[in-house]
Structures are given as structure tokens and as C-alpha cells.
Chains A and B, each alone.
Chain A
Amino acid sequence: MKPPSAQLEPFALRAHHYGRITGISMLVHAIPDAFLLLHTGVGCKYKAAAQLSVHDWARQPHRREGWTEVGDAALIRGAAERIGPYVRSWYDRQKPELMIVCSASHLELSGEDIAGAVRAANATVPCPVRYVHGLGFAGDLYDGFGAALSTVLDTIPWGEVAPEKDHVAVVGYPFDRYEADHSANLHQLRILLAELGKELVAVLPSGQPLARLAAAARAESLLVLPYAHALAGPLATSLAASAASGGRRVVEVGLPVGLRFTSIWLDQVARGLGVDPRRAAKAARRLSGYADRELNLLRTRLQGRRSAVFADTPLAAGLVDLLTQLDLPPALVGLRDRSLGGAPALREALARADVALRPDTVVLEDPSVRTAGAHLRDGVQQGRFQAVLGSASELGALLRGGVRGLNTGPSPEHRLAAIVHGFPSSGYHALQSQPTYGYGGALTVAQRILDGLFSGQE
């Protein structure tokens, strides 16, 4: 199968074909006492919890989702009037602490005042009810996630709680399931901040109920991850405007993924929070030195091999760093987002970390299933890479292409490590601590590559 032409490619289903509604649903799923009311068509339900349900084995996302059951007749009569009864009915049933009402394009096109209907409904239940549009013409999962997160930030009592020294909150963590990969990442963030003498008091979102997220108000500094960079400016402005918010710092940071990017993260955080950068450098030397020694066990056995990685842009940068350090440099990089900067942002981030893509590395931006699958299959069959990191979408496109001998090659040289990571991961689930973040995350990813390439060769 060939990849489609440049003319057909924009029409082809994307490998990561998720829009705002999926991102909004992901954010609501990450807050166990929030509730998502879909004011959408019945098929839009498939854009929400259904996409997450195979990804999260620990908690069913459907349980915190409702639908206003809009059909053609309701639309003709005026569908926005349905929002109030459904909000009250679901409040009565589940007593959520936050309700987010999300619309879809065709209902927005009707010209009804959906935002007004949500405001009216908000006055009739004890919890906050917020509106987030789900227009599906443009934007991606990360747009929806960020927009819904901004409504959560609005509920934090910034003006009611005094910030405490050395307390830090992280904003924009992509929590998408209640499994041990995420709890491990949160632990990595905590220990990295502890190296700088900071205490992590809240991560938004992190699988914690709204009341626990309110602890962010105790933070004197807010570290904003790339998935929420668009919110950093408005957040800083809003906090600055409120005298009662006590001059909290808002610092945009990258992702602590891969050895160099984790060290860069420590430096960014130190500088942003007014910690002596030498302290960060010292911690980075010690921790990365330890990790590097362990990685060396694998590195010496990988010479000549290469990899392919599919991830959103910030995560891809970290993984490219790690794979390069492992002497498994990427021959193919697929960027799954449409809102986090794409190839220019990737190259810029890599340049900051002094990591270079090999000249022959192919970078695909928001590739279609067809293009991702064709590049992956060709690469595997022609021996251009021996490890593939990607979500179930990209690995599915590869595996369904019928690559013979996958993981059953006669010798390690013929093996392919197919490492599922990120959303969606239908077949990979974490029963125990398996971070991607931090120095510990670098070791975990390396361990998975080692298992994929060498396990079973005894």
C-alpha cells in the first residue's frame, strides 16, 4: 500500500483523528467528580467516553457522561431548552462537583444561545456548570483538553487562599487514565520538584477530585506544561489582576521526558521559581548520571539500530532525545497533534537540547492512518528501524498491514520492538509504576525497548 498523494492526504482519516470533544471528555474523565453533558448528536457520543473506554481499564469513563438526546424534532423545536432539565436530572443522580456542557458543530450552527442556556442551568444546581464548545471543523484533542481545563482553573479559589512558600502546582498534565503509568509520572514530578526544595501540592488534572485540585490555590508557583501553554498568559493576567491572589508566578515549562529534557526541565523550573540554577544542575548531574549508567547496558547492544516514534510534539521531543541517547536514533517521527507546534516546534526544542535529528529522518505532521501505516511497514520491511513507539492507532496501522515475522525473527537483528505508549493504548496497561517522565521514565521506556528486542531470545 502506497501513501496517498499530497492531494488526497488531507482527506484521509488521520492516525490521531481526535477533535475537541475527545479532549473535553478526557479532561472530565480525569476529575472523578466532574460530569460531562454532551449537547450533541447521538454519534458525537463516540467522540467522547467511547474513545477512552478501551484505554482505561481502571475506571469506566461512561459513568460520568450524559447526553441531551437531541434529534431532528428537538432541533426544530429548539434544542437548547433541553440543557436545563438534563443538567438538573444528572445533578440529582450523581451530585457532581463540576458539570461541563459541550456542544457540537451542527447545534452551534443552529444559532441558539447555548452558552446562555448553560448559564441559566448553572443557577439551578449547586455545582458550577460550564460551557465549552465542541466545534469539530478544526482544532484537536489538545485544544478541547485545554479549553475544558480553563473552566477548572476558574473554580480554583485563588483569591481565598494565601499562597505558601515553596508550594508548587502543575497545570496541564495529560491525565487520561487511572493506571499506574500516570501515578508514576506524578511521582516523578514530585521527586524532581523535591530536588529543588519545592513541594508539589496539586497537579491539574491528575485523577483527583475537584476539592483536592483546589489545593493549587496554596501554590506560590504554577508550572504550566505544554498542553496548557495557551492558558498560561490568561492565567497570569487573571492572577495578576486579583490582588488577593498574592502574586503567584506562572512559569511555562516543557516536558521532563528523556535525560536531557528532564535536566532542561529542572533548569527551567529552577530559573522560573527563583532557585539557584546550580542546584538544578547538580541534581541533574547526579540523577542523569545514575540513569545513564543503567542505560549504557542497553546502549552498547543497540548499535546500528534505529527507531520510529509517534507522539504529540512535546512528548516526541523528549522521546527523540531518549532514543538518540540510547543510540537508537529515530528514522521516522510522526507528530500526532495539530495545535502544539508541529515540526518547527520539534526542531526548535531539539536544538535547545542540543539533540539533532539525522539528516535522513522523515518527520510526518498529523499523518493519515494510510500514510503512517505505509511509512511504518516500509521502514520495518526494509530494516530501516527496529523499534517503534506509538499509540494503538499507529501500531495498529502497522500490524494490520500484515508485517510478517514481527517479533518472531530468527535473531535479535530481525526483531522489532513495538512499544505502545500514549493515547490510545488499548493493549498496553500499567499494573505497576511505569513512568515516562523524569529520569525514572527514561529507564522505564528503555526497559520496554529492551524487552521488546531481546526478551524471548534465551
Chain B
Amino acid sequence: MTMPRKPPRGAARLGAPDDPFWERQEARLSGRLGQPCCTLSGMCTLLGRMGGDFAVIIHGERDCGNSFVHHTADSAHQFFCTCLTEDQVTAGRVDAPLERCLRLVLEELAPEAILVLGTCPITMIGVDPGPVVERVAASTETPIVLLRTGGLKLSTQSDMVDWLYASLAGLPQRAPDPEAWRLQVASRLKETVAELLSEGTLAPDEVRADVERALEVPPASRCVNLIGLPALGVRASELEPALRSAGIHVRGLYPFEADLRGWRSITHAAVNVVADRRLYPRLLKLLETQHAMPTVEVPLPIGLGQSVRFYRAIGDFFDATDVLDRALASIREAAQAQVDAFRARTASTRVAMGIRMLNNYQVDQLAYEGLGDVEALSELGFHLTLLVQGPPEQRARFEEMLSDLGVDLPFYVFPNPWNLAPLLAEGDYQVALLADHSWEEAQKAGVPMIRSRALAPLLAGVEPNLNLLTELLRAAQGEPGRDR
């Protein structure tokens, strides 16, 4: 065989003749800042982390079951795959394995619900699993939901999470989730114990009264669902005691704490408090129209200003603004003093914030197009620059997207995370908020880094966030050999 003649090393840009291809290609860039995703991968990832008695059936080839990181998935043992062979797919004989798998899962495991997920090979051959699913569903009371997922139709992460959560909330609703109630009781009892230990002034009758109140089931009219808040730090914050002082109770934190039963009792609350309602069009339409639940939109409660607005929105809905204000006064004032002092010390610090770098389906990352931390950083007086991962030739398009979101910050567009080090070094940033996989690039550039969305939420998060930033700024100043 004659070896092809190849261009020499060191040749000029070899891809130059492809410019027309790239111009056509980039027209597919979606109107959102998130990275494209496979709905199968995304849903498997999120369902793998979710608790509850459900089963997932991936209808496709065996390796489709490998399109999510399963070894860290708590519910991996509830996943099944029809493991279609090449012969079955090419001949279109794919219904029988699905029916057999569905019936075996129902018979042996009797889960509370089954989700059947589609794959690229099924999309490719144009077979509709709907009739099989309907046939099996007709023979059981277990809800079976078919989601025609796959990677061929490039979806946004936002669309995928909304589709999944709307599907879960759309399952037949049940009585409130005992797990959510247990968490609530535990939280109240912890508060009583903390008060006993710290003050030591509670009389036995007061302890008894506290415990009795803790065991009361609050009416749905005083319950709130919190949707899209960060995964960590909410329960440990001032949130629940503050709301309780106004007679408001947290029914559930969605999606991070919600298991299957949590989704199947989401309607047992007065209101859905949502960080970025644009993320959940299907879910909110379902809750608003079919269950007459109103929505209150809030900012991602990171930093002082956003946390204050978060509470104000809830207070306004329940007509409890004054009570909440009083309950929060001391912690809010302390946070304000801390922010003022920090701002005086660190004015004009140059901070880089990476966006569009992750495909991890976390709603707090996706909220407000990944810009949920911007205000928290801006209120500290930082000079913030956005680093947007994407095709640099589409800069104008990103500018338009940011402008639509009311963001007027300097920004750079970089094609992949491995171009970050020079960009970080050139920008002379003192701190960077980046996706967790960027530590190597940040280290190369000598820029101390915080993982995206590592800032703690709510007023209780203000002090630890400032401490973290203070440490990083110290590191930036003291880092030997940093090329500045």
C-alpha cells in the first residue's frame, strides 16, 4: 500500500480550507450559554443520584448504559438496559427485549415507578417504543413513563433538567413525603438542642412545647417548595428558623434533596420559590396550570444582596416581610458589616469567572445561565471578567446573550479549558472561579481558584465566603514565583 503524502510538520494552519465548514457549523450554536447535552446521559446522571424506589430501563445497546458515571451513582442498582444486539437493531426487532425487561422488573422488583429512556440507536432506526410501554402499562398500576431521550437531537442541559423534573412531578401525586417531614422535625429538634446547650435557659415546659411544635404537621398553605437552590449549605443556614418564625415551612428542596416520593408530593405546598424560572418552563406550567400553584422567582441566594432579595420575595408572598425582616435583622446586619469591611480591604481585586465550562446538569450551575454568583462578587467591589468557553468566532453572539441577561462585564471567549492558563496569566487575575477540572490550568497560571458554585448560600454563607476569598487573596499575594 502506498502511504499517503502528508503535509510537513510546522506547516501553516492546516484547517484554513475548512473555514466555510465552520461558518455553517456554528449556526447551530443554541441561544443559551449552557453546553449541549445528551438527554439520556443527563437523565441517567440525575436519576442515578436520586433516591427512591424506582427503576430506569435504558432501551438501547449495552454501551448506552455507560453514558453516565455510574460508579458514583447511589441508585445504579436500579438501572437496567435492554442490551440490544446489532442484529436486533438492524432488523428492528427491539420491542420484545423491552417488553421482557419491563415485565421482569415489574414482577421481581415491583418499583413505585419505571422510567424508560430512549437512545440514539432507537432514534436512528425510527422505532417507537410507545406501544410496548403502553401495553405493559395497561397491565399494571405502576406508572411507566417513556422519555424519548438520546443524543442525536442536541439539547441544552436546561431543557433536559426541566423535562425530567416535569416528568417526575407529573407522576400521580401522593400524600406528603414522610422523609421531608422527618427532615423538618430533625431540624427543629436540633435547634432546640442547640439552644439548650448554648443558653441553658430553656425551662422543661418550653422544651416540651418546642418538641410538640416540631411534631406538628404544618398546613400546605404555609409550606414552600424551594426549587433550584444550591445543593449544600441551605439546611445549615438561617433559612428554616427564619421562615418558621414567620410561620412558613420548607416542604422540600428540589431537586437536590428530592427522592421519588418528594417529587410525587411536590403539590403539597402553597408556592414554588424558584431560582430562575426560565429553567423550568414545563415543570412550572404543570404546577401552575394543573395544580394551581403560584411561582415566586428569586435570585440564586449567594451573597448579601441576593439573599436579602430572596427573603423579601418569600416575605411578600406570605405577607410576612416585617416578621422575616426582624428575624433576620441581626444576621443581615452582621453580614453587611462584613461585606463593607471586606470591600474596603480588597477594592479593585481582579477576578475571573468561567462560564459554559460544565456539563454536570446541576441546576444551581445552570441558573441564570451560570451567572448566579456574579452579583455576589460584584457587591464586594471586585473587577470581574467573564471567561466564556465557546468558539471565539462567535463572540458577537455571546455578547448579545449576555446583554439580554443584563450583564455588562468584560469577557473573553476561549475554545477549550486547556487554553485557560495563558488567558488567566495575561489577565493578571488574583482569584478565579472556574470549573473543578481547571485546577491544573489555574495552577500553571499561578491564580488561586475556587470551584464554580462553591460559594455558600444565604446570609449564613456570607462570612465563610469572605473567609475563603480572604485566604485566596493572601495566597495570591504570597505565591512565590508568580509571574505577574
A124 touches B7 (CB 8 A): yes
Q: Which residue of B lies closest to A8 (CB)?
A: B104
CB-contact partner of B11 in A20, A59, A84, A126, under 8 A: A126
Contact A92 B8, beta carbon cutoff 8 Å: no
Smallest CB separation, B151 vs chain A (Å): 3
A-contact bits for B36-75, CB 8 A (1 contact / 0 none): 1110110001000000000001000111111111111010
Q: Which residues of A contact B104 (CB under 8 A)?
A: 4-5, 7-8, 11
* A392 on interface, CB distance cutoff 8 Å: yes
> Which residues in B have their C-beta under 8 angstroms from that of A19?
62-63, 66
List the A side residues contacting B418 at CB < 8 Å: 63, 94
With a CB–CB cut-off of 8 A, which chain B residues contact A393? 70-71
Could you tell me the dominant secondary structure of chain B's interface residues? mixed
- A72 touching B63, Cβ below 8 Å: no
Task: Kindly provide the distance from the CB of B277 to the nearest chain A CB, expressed in whole angstroms.
Answer: 26
**Across the interface, do B5 and A396 meet the contact criterion of CB distance under 8 Å?**
no
A93 x B415 contact (CB < 8 A):
yes
Chain A residues positioned under 8 Å from B38 (CB to CB): 41-46
Q: Identify A20's interface contact among B63, B152, B416, B417, CB under 8 A.
A: B63
In the complex, the answer to whether A136 meets B62 with C-beta atoms within 8 Å is yes
The reply to whether B41 and A92 contact each other, CB–CB distance below 8 Å, is: no
Given the known A-B contacts A88-B15, A92-B15, are A135 and B86 also in contact in the complex, defined by CB atoms under 8 Å? yes
Residue of A nearest to B38 (CB): A43
Partner of A84, one of B18, B69, B120: B18
Chain A, Cβ-Cβ closest to B105: A8
Chain B CB within 8 A of A51 CB: yes
Point out the residues of chain A lying under 8 angstroms from B77, CB to CB: 1, 12-13, 368-370, 373, 397
Q: A69 contacts which of B11, B25, B40, B108 (Cβ < 8 Å)?
A: B25
Closest residue of A by beta carbon distance from B9: A126
B79 beta carbon closer than 8 Å to chain A:
yes
Interface residues of A in 395-425 (CB under 8 A from B): 396-397, 400, 424
The reply to whether A91 and B14 contact each other, CB–CB distance below 8 Å, is: yes
Chain B residues in 8 Å Cβ range of A53: 437
Contacting pair A51 B105 (CB below 8 A): no
Complex interface: stretch among A103-111, A168-176, A234-242: A103-111
- Can you name the residue of chain A whose Cβ is closest to the Cβ of B21? A85
- A8 and B57 alpha carbons, distance in the complex (Å): 12
Which residues of A in the span 27-62 have a Cβ within 8 Å of any Cβ on B?
40-47, 50-51, 53-54, 59-60, 62
Give B56's nearest chain A residue, CB to CB. A13
Question: Is A106 within 8 A of B68, CB to CB?
Answer: no
In the complex, residue of chain B having the shortest beta-carbon distance to the beta carbon of A59: B440
A10 at the binding interface (Cβ < 8 Å): yes
- Is A123's CB within 8 Å of the partner chain B? yes
| Among candidates A13, A82, A93, A106, residue contacting B70 with C-beta atoms closer than 8 Å | A13
Pick the residue among B63, B72, B125 that contacts A426 (CB under 8 A): B72
Chain B: residues with Cβ within 8 Å of the partner, total of 68
Query: Is A431's CB within 8 Å of the partner chain B?
Result: no
Interface code B393-419, partner A: CB below 8 Å = 1, 0 otherwise?
000000000000000000000011110
Tally of contacts, chain A with chain B, CB under 8 A: 208
Q: A176 to nearest B CB, angstroms?
A: 14
In the complex, the chain A residue whose C-beta lies closest to that of B97 is A11
A281 within 8 A of B: no
The answer on a CB contact under 8 Å between B41 and A43 is yes
Partner of A88, one of B14, B80, B86, B440: B14
Query: Could you say which residues of chain A place their CB within 8 Å of the CB of B86?
Result: 105, 135, 137-138
A391 interface contact, C-beta 8 A: yes
| Inter-subunit contact A125/B14 (CB<8 Å) | yes
Which residue of the partner chain A has the closest CB to B19? A85
**CA of A11 to CA of B82, assembled, Å:** 6
Which residue of the partner chain A has the closest CB to B419? Answer: A93
A75 interfacial contact with B, CB 8 Å: yes
Within 8 A of B (CB), among A175-190: none
User: Is there contact, CB below 8 Å, between A71 and B154?
Assistant: yes
Chain A residues with Cβ under 8 A from B28's Cβ? 69, 71, 73
Give residues 1-27 of B contacting A (CB, 8 Å).
4-9, 11, 13-15, 18, 21-22, 25
Chain B residues, Cβ within 8 Å of A265: none
Cβ-based interface call for B101 (8 A): yes
Name the A residues within 8 Å of B62 (CB-CB): 17, 19, 136-138
| Residues of chain A with a CB closer than 8 A to B416's CB | 63, 93
Interface code A113-124, partner B: CB below 8 Å = 1, 0 otherwise? 000000100111
Task: Tell me the complex Cα distance, A424–B28, Å.
Answer: 35
- Known contacts being A125-B7, A138-B85, is A41 close to B72, with CB within 8 Å? no
Contact of A18 with B by CB under 8 A: yes
Chain B residues with Cβ below 8 Å from A21 are 63, 66
Q: What are the residues of chain A within 8 A of B25 when measuring CB–CB? A: 69, 85
Determine the distance from Cα of A73 to Cα of B30 in the docked complex, in whole angstroms. 14
Asked if A110 and B124 sit within 8 Å, CB to CB, the answer is: yes
On B, residues with C-beta under 8 Å from A are: 4-9, 11, 13-15, 18, 21-22, 25, 28, 36-38, 40-41, 45, 57, 61-72, 74, 76-77, 79-86, 89-90, 101, 104-105, 108, 120-121, 123-125, 150-154, 359, 415-418, 437, 440
Q: Which 3 A-B pairs have the closest CB atoms?
A: A136-B63, A43-B38, A41-B151
- Show 23 residue pairs from A and B whose CB-CB distance is below 8 angstroms, ordered by the A residue: A8-B101, A8-B105, A11-B80, A12-B80, A41-B150, A42-B38, A42-B154, A44-B151, A45-B359, A46-B66, A62-B417, A71-B152, A72-B123, A82-B21, A92-B13, A95-B9, A105-B120, A122-B6, A124-B6, A136-B63, A373-B77, A397-B76, A397-B77
A-B contacts besides A46-B67, A63-B416, A393-B71, 17 pairs, CB < 8 Å: A4-B108, A12-B77, A42-B36, A44-B38, A46-B66, A46-B69, A51-B66, A60-B437, A71-B153, A92-B15, A106-B124, A109-B124, A126-B9, A136-B62, A391-B71, A397-B77, A426-B72
